[in-house]
Structure 1
Amino acid sequence: MKILHLIIDHQVIERTLGVYEKVFGRCNDVLFFGSPVFKHLHKYKGSPVVLKNQGMKIGKKFDFSGYTHIIAHYLTMDMIDFIKSAPMNIHVCWEVYGADLYNQFLVPNGFELFYTDPIKYSKYRVFRRRLPFLFKLALEIKGHKYQFDFQINKQFNYISQRINSIQHGCYYDAVFIEQYASKKIHSYEVFNYSLSEVLGNLKETPFFDGDTIMVGNSASYSNNHLYVLNLLKEMELNNKLRFILVMSYGGSKQYVSEVENAYNSFFPQKVEVLTDYLPLRLYNRLFLSVKSMIMSAWRQESIGTIIMGFYLGIKIFMSEKSPLYKWFVDCGFKVFAIETAKGEDLDTPLLLKDKQQNRKLVLERYNEERIMRSLKENIVD
């Protein structure tokens, strides 16, 4: 067995590859896609690099001999172009991260992802809205390939037919791909976060009841902060409740400012907005004051943060629009839809038995041994 891992500069990828080394030692090669300016990669930053728009060119001259598997961790268009040159006897696997499926392929096919249109915050918003075809054409001319829906769908059609398996953190990710491909594709669950690493010194901490509502875990437009605010406005909330908005990355300065002003205008003196990147140790300390967490993305997003909340006994609210919400319900977690919640629900902690059930499920589903076993069972010669 020999695995070729196609990766980007993502914060979890080195943890992921570390698990593969434990399971399939000395059977892993890495090919990096993107600009060789690394933010997260350390151990693997010396890997061969495929620059933007070079996927097809590199694929045509790449020596695929000896490889039995290709695993794309966060699938990009350049990875698809590269895979087109791989012999058909090589098993191709897509590990779905989230945006690589939903933002890249499902949104152009009508999937509703954003409460607030991201174009609103674009430097070229007038051009993009009034002359969308010309704007996309200009991007194509500048070297930004795959701007038009027919091009995107051609890539999606190819890869959905070519892949042999799907790794997912939410089963409905695989369902969407299967629906597009009109066929069943072997899929299995993976989890890229070691619980001990994610929880840090909060592992085995006793349950607690905070006094703060945490809204979102980043400034990504798909966190839908203003959607949450409109729902909160309709609730009768305890005057003592406070809100934390974690907006350390993603989105734009304009979006962060708009969200901050909107929350402050409705909850004066009760909102703390965090815009600086926090080390894991400090980020984890936030959870000690959190009573309820509202994660209102309409796609699979923020899995690590939500699982931490489950483990710590925090009451989790998600959007019923989210396939990840449906998945957690299927798995047996005690989780709530923000659309049907009342103010008293946000202020009332989970029952002890529900906290215990959520922690038990986290320990059963997201331990490293289970993930390693899943890889052994599903990645075979």
Structure 2
Amino acid sequence: MKTLKILHLARDEKFIDQAIKAFEHAAPGASDLYVYSNKPLKLVKSRATIPSITSVLTGKISKHFSKYDLIIVHSLDQVWYKAILKLPKSIPVVWIGWGYDYYDIIYDSRTKTLLPLTSLELNITSNKAKLFKKIKNTLKKIVFPTNKSKVVERINFFSPVLPAEYIMVSTQFSGKKFPDYALWNYGNLEEDLVKDFTNAQANGSSILVGNSASAENNHLDSFFLLSNLGIDSREIISPLSYGDEQYRDLILKKGREQFGDRFEPLIDFMPIGDYVKILESCGFVIMNHIRQQAVGNIVIMLYLGAKIFLREECPTYNFFRDQGAVIFSIQELEKNPALIHEQLDNASMMINRHIVKNNWSKEVSDKKTRLLLKQVCNA
């Protein structure tokens, strides 16, 4: 394969360094990175260009893109819309989806991803937030008048988090042309997800709830469930280091009211090693999402041998069950509370670890990246 010139477009997000490293493995020296930010970068450590806000929002930055053989967009952020549409047709574009950037295509309303208690609480407490969001959306339409469908039609390849999501998105897409499917994922076990923890095991009694400060975690419904399962002496650990600040404050308040000192929120970003060290104490995981979310956390916890509970309607549940993983549903837990008191057996732990290795090992990750580049070149 000839050496490509690849341009990555991204925000200042924690997964970007993993992506740059993966593409450098496959095509050394080929990648450049543009990060949109109006502040000094905090999360991206890779060498990056920070273009001017004006050049990005007007799309004029695209004049610098003609020297590249391939553009990779890490989540379909509105800030890149105009630049994508101004690209020469000869330059292929790959959209690596994150979930939030395509679930508006699958669901016509966010409320369809919320469970009853979470939905009710947000309706009660978020009148000001609704007004702010309405104003924000109006301003966005002024700054970003481009129709999302037109941008998606310009994209050549789409890689969602889970393969099944490609069908979910493409069948709901109202545009004329949808990108071809591409398989790719962020991070690998050895270098990113469980680095220095390859022999670790999550054998504590703490319970991990959710992965972020977003309402789609349905924390309040999880808290209600747990409060009725006889877990009076066990810690509840909730990562809340990114997402919506107002929602985070709500969960901090509700978590402390319900569980007192046993509620342990993780508010600050921390190195992955420190994070995994905390996760070792969590032998049980509650991810109460209706939509796909928290796949990285789920992969780590499956590798560490925790007992995982997901909703039956969540695509992530079906993805792992179809591969033979030993996971459980929230609905099963509601019917059989004893499940939250019994650690996963060793045989099931080994099955789950084997499955995540088959999907997220460094060898598999490198192969996915090489195949993606080959797919684009052949096209």
TM over 0.5: yes
* Pairing of 1:9-48 with structure 2 (within 5 A): 9-45=12-48, 47-48=49-50
Deviation of 1:238 (Å): 4.3
**Equivalent-residue separation in structure 1 for 2:214 and 2:51 (angstroms):** 27
Q: Which residue of 2 aligns with 1:306?
A: 298
CA contact (8 A) 2:188 2:365 kept: no
Q: Given the superposition, is the C-alpha separation of residues 212 and 140 from structure 1 closer, same or farther in structure 2, using an over 3 Å criterion?
A: closer
Which stretches in structure 1 are left out of the alignment for 5+ residues? none
**Quick one: structure 1 residues 120 and 84, their matched pair in 2 at CA, closer, same or farther if it must change by over 3 Å?**
farther
Of the three residues 187, 202, 212, the one matched with 2:181 is 187
Whole-angstrom CA distance in 2 between matches of 1:109 and 1:3: 35
1:228 and 2:222 matched: yes
Per-residue Cα deviation, 1:169-204 (whole angstroms, up to 9, x for no partner): 211332233111576743233222231232133212
Q: Is the CA contact 1:213–1:293 (under 8 Å) kept in the aligned structure 2?
A: yes
CA gap of 1:125–1:27, structure 2 versus 1, over 3 A, is closer
1:82-161 map, 5 Å: 82-102=83-103, 105-108=105-108, 112-115=112-115, 116=118, 124-125=128-129, 127=131, 132=134, 136-137=137-138, 139-140=139-140, 144-145=143-144, 154-155=147-148, 157-161=149-153
Does the CA-based 8 Å contact 1:167-1:190 persist in structure 2?
yes
Residue 10 of structure 1 deviates from its aligned partner by 0.9
Summarize the Cα distance change of 1:123–1:333 in structure 2 as closer, same or farther, 3 Å threshold: same
1:273 aligns with 2:268: no
Runs of 4+ in 1 over 6 A off after TM superposition: none
Which residue of structure 2 lines up, in the alignment, with residue 67 of structure 1? 68
Q: Which amino acid aligns with 1:28?
A: S
Amino acid aligned to 1:248: S
1:261-296 Cα offsets, whole Å, 9 max, x none, are: 434444455333333333333222212221201122
Name the structure 2 match of 1:3.
Answer: 6
TM-score by length of 2: 0.84
In 1, Cα distance between equivalents of 2:316 and 2:202:
25
* Equivalent residues in 2 for 1:247-326, closer than 5 Å: 247-252=240-245, 254-326=246-318
Query: What SS does the aligned partner of 2:277 have?
Result: helix
3-state DSSP class of the match of 1:320? coil
Matches of 1:136 and 1:280, distance apart in 2: 34
Q: Give, as a single letter, the amino acid of the residue that structure 1 aligns with 2:131.
A: F
Do the aligned residues in 1 keep the contact of 2:22 with 2:369 (CA within 8 Å)?
A: no
CA distance in 1, matches of 2:341, 2:187: 29
Structure 2 unaligned segments of length 5 or more: list them: none
Asked whether the equivalents of residues 159 and 184 of structure 2 are also in contact (C-alpha less than 8 Å), the reply is yes
Q: SS at the partner of 1:124?
A: helix
Map of 1:290-369 to 2, 5 A cutoff?
290-341=282-333, 342-369=336-363
Distance, in Å, in 2 between the alignment partners of 1:13 and 1:158 is 25
**Structure 2 CA distance for partners of 1:12 and 1:136, relative to 1, 3 Å:** closer
Equivalents in 1 of 2:207, 2:65: separation in Å?
51
* Aligned equivalent of 1:57, options 28, 43, 59: 59
- How far apart are the structure 1 equivalents of 2:346 and 2:285? 17
- Equivalent AA in structure 2 for residue 68 of structure 1: D
Q: Name the count of aligned residue pairs.
A: 363
Deviations 1:309-352 (A, max 9, x none): 00010001112232222222223322221133132111111122
Q: Residues 14, 300 of structure 1: CA spacing in aligned structure 2 closer, same or farther, 3 A cutoff?
A: same
Instruction: Tell me the TM-score normalized by structure 1.
Output: 0.84
Of all paired residues, the percent bearing the same amino acid is 23
